[in-house]
Structure 1
Amino acid sequence: MATATKTVWSVDPTHSEIQFKVKHLVISTVTGYFRQFEGTVETEGEDFETAKIQFSADVTSVDTNMEQRDQHLRSADFFDAEKYPKLSFTSTNVTKTGEDTYKILGDLTIKDVTKPVELKAEYGGSMVDFYGNHKAGFELTGKINRKEFGLSWHAVTEAGGIVVADDVKLAINVQVAKPA
């Protein structure tokens, strides 16, 4: 019986985005991005259920469309980018849950804290692009509690309202490419 060959897919940063959303003042949502990141997905052949995922993002690339807030996020109150320049994710298990859906379990490390997280993934399909590169696309979602990762800055307004919620929603659109 022939075994499938190992394939290492690389994240295509020009066709991917790493996004997070957090409630501000409990009345609106602030959206942020990590602009610099890299990752790989290792599969047996093209079977994503066997995937081993490695991912990291440069926390100095955080972008919420407001430089003052971004500087605060890079500070020791949040990511402490000078001391901990990257966040990372390593999968521990991938399970196919439907025709085009997966549950991804893995370890997320932010600062010096590593915790298990669960992501839901929807497979968008695969295709060969104009240049002959084989690509596959996924949309991933999940939620973490920022305080569990040492992002514990807290403030309240004069009226007693919370400035930043604890729950952070993750929305990741990723396109991966396998070597030709």
Structure 2
Amino acid sequence: MASTKWNIDPTHSEVTFKVKHLMISTVTGKFKVFEGGAESEGDEFKKVNNVEFKADVKSIDTSNEQRDEHLRSGDFFDVEKHPYLVFKAESFDVNKDTVEGQLTIKDVTKNVVLDVEYGGQVVDPYGQTKAGLTVSGKISRKEFGLTYHAVTEAGNVVLGDQIKINVEVQFVKEA
């Protein structure tokens, strides 16, 4: 059976994250520039192989330019040395509710398991075959070398360790 190539449609996808600030509220951010793809066995987006996702860390956007510049700095992502965040998974079955793969942030690669909700496969009004997924999970930022730490005068932690990830992704089948 021939494999079919699928590419992420960035105009119908989004990559967001949430982190606790001062442990009393949550800040949301996103990556505005990303790409990726996968291969399926046959024409159906069911058993998927060679999943790869890459986000341009320079495109980080938390709706605050000063904070975004700090996140791009050596205190966090160090985008001059490590411009991309990458996730790779060898394979997964969309009928299962998780995907396991290697997440690389900065120069640290760790195995992660993320939740997957398959939205289905349809043909759009332009004749393109599309498949949708919601991918979510949590990671420890410190495990990936994002160890910046500050404490308020009262001893409160400024930034939480746990990062909630949510990816709404629409794949389009190559013609």
* Fold agreement, TM-score > 0.5: yes
In structure 1, the residue corresponding to 2:81 is in which secondary structure?
coil
Cα distance, 1:47 vs structure 2: 4.4
When the two structures are superposed, what TM-score results if normalisation uses the length of structure 2?
A: 0.95
1:107-161 Cα distance to aligned partner (Å, 9 max, x none): 0001100000111110111111111100011001111000010000000111111
Q: Which runs of 5+ in 2 are unaligned?
A: none
Cα distance, 1:92 vs structure 2: 3.5
Q: Whole-Å Cα distance in 2 between the matches of residues 95 and 118 of structure 1?
A: 13
Which residue number in structure 2 is paired with residue 126 of structure 1?
121
Which residue number in structure 2 is paired with residue 24 of structure 1?
21
Residue 49 of structure 2 contacts residue 90 of structure 2 at CA under 8 Å; is this kept in 1?
no
Residue 56 of structure 1 contacts residue 88 of structure 1 at CA under 8 Å; is this kept in 2?
yes
Which residue number in structure 2 is paired with residue 140 of structure 1?
135
Give every structure 1 segment of 4 or more consecutive aligned residues whose post-TM-superposition deviation is greater than 6 Å. Answer: none
Residue 23 of structure 1 aligns with an amino acid whose one-letter code is: K
Q: Whole-Å Cα distance in 2 between the matches of residues 101 and 14 of structure 1?
A: 26
Cα distance, 1:51 vs structure 2: 2.8
Which residue number in structure 1 is paired with residue 65 of structure 2?
67
In structure 1, the residue corresponding to 2:11 is in which secondary structure?
helix
When the two structures are superposed, what TM-score results if normalisation uses the length of structure 1?
A: 0.93
Give the superposed CA RMSD: 1.2
Residue 170 of structure 2 aligns with an amino acid whose one-letter code is: Q
In structure 1, the residue corresponding to 2:67 is in which secondary structure?
helix
Percent identity, aligned pairs only, is 56
Q: Size of the alignment, in residue pairs? A: 174
Residue 111 of structure 1 aligns with an amino acid whose one-letter code is: K
Residue 34 of structure 2 contacts residue 53 of structure 2 at CA under 8 Å; is this kept in 1?
yes
Q: Whole-Å Cα distance in 2 between the matches of residues 17 and 170 of structure 1?
A: 11
Cα distance, 1:50 vs structure 2: 3.5
Q: Whole-Å Cα distance in 2 between the matches of residues 79 and 112 of structure 1?
A: 10
